[in-house]
Amino acid sequence: MIVTLWICFAALVIGMGLVLIRLEIGPTNLDRAVALDVITASAVGIVVVLMALTGRVDLLPLLVVLTSVGFIGSTTIARFSQAESISDRRVLTAEEAARAARPQLADDDAPVHPDVSDDEDDPDAPIGAGFDLEGETR
């Protein structure tokens, strides 16, 4: 029984070490959040194994604190993490990626004002095209 507990203790410590590496290199913040959750769970496991090895029950409040910190940390990270839109999750095709990488030039912008024609009789002319600023016809 004691050998099994020591094997569990060693596995938890090794797992915690590997997760520390993942915590360091994790490319996103959510990877780091999952690593912190696993570290908290490993710490709870280590305390449980120590309680079983030594027969101490006075470490139970420590378990309550560790699990509370793990829960509050996870929910806080989940609350403040930014969700991706569906279009951000989608893998772009080569053509879409090239179009997104191309810088937008100034002449690519849409015109701010339509062309103003000087012809008052043109039915397609914008409203007020034949008037100047003082309200007189041209």
The tens digit of pLDDT for each residue in 93-115 reads 888 878 877 776 555 566 666 55
Helices (H), ranges, 55-138: 60-80, 86-89, 94-101
Residues in a beta bridge with 137: 131
55-84: per-residue pLDDT in tens?
A: 999 999 999 999 999 999 988 888 887 766
Q: What is the pTM of this model?
A: 0.57
Which bin fits 10, alpha (ψ -120 to 50), beta or left (φ > 0)? Answer: alpha
Contact 9, 16 (CB under 8 A): no
**Which parts of the chain fold into alpha helices (H)?**
2-25, 29-54, 60-80, 86-89, 94-101
Domain boundaries, the chain: 2-81
For residue 53 the two structure tokens come to 């090895």
Each residue's pLDDT tens digit, 16-29: 999 999 888 878 88
Q: What is the mean pLDDT of the chain?
A: 80
Tokens of 74: 């996870």
Residue with tokens 């006075």: 58
**Integer Cα distance of 20 and 24 in angstroms:** 6
